[in-house]
Amino acid sequence: MSDHDEIKILESMTATDVMTAAPLTCSTFSTVLEAVMIFRDVVCGAVPILEEGRPVAILTDRDVALALADYPDLASRPVSEIAQPGIVSVSPEDTLGRVCEVLRSQGVRRVLVLDTAGRLIGIIGWADIAPVISDRMMGRLVTDMVAE
């Protein structure tokens, strides 16, 4: 695939085209065990955390693994105690190029897709983007992210 073709893909596809729609979520009061069950059942590594219906954080399997040393009762703790607060988001209409830029510039592996009212409609990770671009382009994007 030529650079020109890659650029066309990045400019013509949108967040909606590659996102995982309607991801399972937890509330800030959900237990870590509930989130881990989602990781297991859906085969994913991140769960958006909602407060009053709006995303406030993402809990990752890495967050859980790192918290094991600090919390012997981790399974029963609320996800809000270990999830990193804050989110990185894009709109459904953002181009795939914009999504890649946000992932790269923010140094994150996933972004949430929010509608104009701030409601969660999807999630995008690098794994969602990889199938639609070449390995060479993916390598460049990830290398740029790591280099910053």
> What's the mean pLDDT when you consider all of the chain?
90
Task: Say whether pLDDT at 115 is over 80.
Answer: yes
pLDDT in the model for residue 146: 60
| pTM, rounded to two decimals | 0.88
Domain 3-147 has CATH 3.10.580.10: yes
136 or 103, greater pLDDT: 103
DSSP state of 69: T
Taking only the tens place, the pLDDT of each residue in 61-99 is 999 999 999 999 999 999 999 998 899 999 999 999 999
Residue with the bigger pLDDT between 144 and 65: it is 65
Taking the C-alpha atoms of 66, 70, 75 and 77 in order, what is their torsion angle to the nearest 10 degrees? -110
* pLDDT tens digits along 40-52: 999 999 999 999 9
Examine the pLDDT at 148 and tell me if it is beyond 60.
Answer: no
pLDDT over 70 at 6, yes or no = no
Rounded to an integer, what distance in angstroms lies between the CA atom of residue 72 and that of residue 46? 22
Distance CA 127, CA 30 (A): 26
